[in-house]
């Protein structure tokens, strides 16, 4: 039934419109909250912050793509962007599970087995949490003692989670999680899930690189509301890394609503007052929501370009053409 619904163009269009509507409503709500603060900023601040946010999201997409490729289902860049960024709009519905389901089902358009899509998405979340806590554990104790004291338990998990990213540990965990579903035909057809060490290393590297622009967007906003440009960089990066992680773990809050703001207000206290920190938190929410919507819109023409290029690629004379895109090679076959 799920496959039939997925292939119905009207159902797909309706779901896409619902997701876009929820994201646009979120942008509108955040703009209403941040309108006065945004009007007081220089004109360049918000565009630069949005571009930085989009750059950070690109790094996270590349990390997910590296994991998916390592599991045996490589995707072109434009297609990977569409699957991830359109699917990620589901996080603006209550419960993060909708983003997960949408991403897995969109991957099916390009012959990504659900078991691989689900594994790659869950592993990407694990990598994001581990690397983000590591970034926060390095940056916050040196710049925001209050935040480090309040959330010490989360920062203390960083070394353990990084150790859990070792390919042997990940491989054991993936096989253990897949064992109860081994009787399902699709799980059997996907083959055993193996993740090469180079794929995990690439995902960690991309996620770490993503925190440069992600932290920069908060730094730009903090600077714009009166923070010292030198002293505010460490708290901005560490605060957003911790805020992103805790917001991700609170699954009942759409896109971590409320959690990120609380963490940012406390963590930015050493460089700006509470009122300015709250302004940064609200503006950051607006910026990242706009970045999500912008990438979802840009990914649609990018994926069409990738689809057109793949259909022009010569193949075997009798090779069947799949109606939903080229079939990804099975490296585990």
For the CA atoms of 78, 12, 85, 32, the dihedral, rounded to the nearest 10 degrees, stands at 140
Q: How confident is the model at residue 329 (pLDDT cuts 50, 70, 90)?
A: very low
pLDDT number for residue 27 = 72
Q: Please tell me the distance from the alpha carbon of residue 70 to that of residue 98, in angstroms, as a whole number.
A: 24
Q: At what angle do helices 77-88 and 45-70 cross, to 10 degrees?
A: 110
pLDDT tens digit sequence for 182-226: 555 555 555 567 888 899 999 999 999 999 999 999 999 999 988
* Least confident among 23-37, 124-138, 149-163, 289-303: 23-37
Structure pTM?
0.79
Average pLDDT, the chain: 79
**Rounded Cα–Cα distance for residues 317 and 87 (Å):** 34
User: From CA 162, how far away is CA 128, in angstroms rounded?
Assistant: 10
The model's pLDDT over 129-180, given as tens digits with 9 standing for 90+, comes to 999 999 988 888 877 777 778 888 888 888 999 988 888 888 787 777 666 5
Residues 6+ apart with CB under 8 A from 55: 210, 213
The answer to whether residues 282 and 37 touch, using CB atoms and an 8 Å cutoff, is yes
Among the listed residues 283, 284, 264, the one whose alpha carbon sits nearest the alpha carbon of residue 274: 264
- Residue-wise pLDDT for 106-131, tens only, equals 888 788 888 888 889 989 989 999 99
First to last CA, the chain: 28
């Amino acid at each position: 039934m799920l496959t039939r619904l997925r292939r119905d163009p009207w159902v797909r269009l309706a779901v896409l419109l619902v997701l876009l509507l929820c994201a646009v409503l979120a942008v509108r709500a955040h703009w209403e909250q941040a309108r006065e603060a945004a009007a007081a900023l220089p004109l360049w601040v918000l565009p630069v912050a949005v571009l930085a946010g989009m750059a950070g999201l690109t790094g996270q997409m590349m990390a997910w793509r590296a994991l998916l490729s390592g599991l045996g289902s490589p995707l072109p860049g434009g297609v990977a962007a569409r699957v991830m960024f359109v699917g990620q709009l589901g996080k603006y519905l209550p419960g993060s599970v909708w983003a997960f389901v949408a991403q897995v089902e969109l991957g099916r358009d390009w012959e990504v087995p659900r078991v691989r899509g689900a594994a790659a998405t869950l592993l990407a979340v694990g990598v994001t949490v581990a690397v983000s806590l590591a970034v926060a554990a390095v940056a916050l104790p040196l710049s925001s003692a209050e935040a480090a004291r309040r959330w010490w338990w989360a920062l203390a998990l960083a070394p353990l989670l990084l150790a859990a990213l070792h390919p042997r540990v990940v491989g054991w965990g993936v096989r253990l999680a897949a064992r109860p579903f081994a009787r399902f035909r699709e799980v059997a057809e996907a083959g055993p899930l193996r993740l090469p060490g180079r794929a995990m290393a690439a995902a960690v590297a991309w996620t770490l690189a993503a925190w440069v622009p992600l932290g920069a967007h908060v730094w730009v906003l903090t600077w714009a509301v009166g923070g010292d440009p030198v002293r505010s960089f460490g708290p901005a990066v560490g605060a957003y890394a911790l805020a992103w992680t805790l917001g991700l773990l609170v699954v009942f809050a759409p896109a971590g609503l409320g959690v990120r703001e609380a963490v940012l207000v406390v963590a930015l206290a050493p460089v700006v007052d509470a009122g300015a920190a709250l302004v940064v938190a609200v503006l950051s929410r607006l910026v990242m929501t706009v970045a999500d919507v912008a990438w979802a819109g840009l990914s649609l023409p990018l994926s069409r370009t990738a689809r057109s290029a793949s259909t022009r690629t010569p193949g075997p004379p009798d090779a069947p053409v799949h109606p939903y895109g080229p079939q990804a090679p099975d490296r585990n076959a």
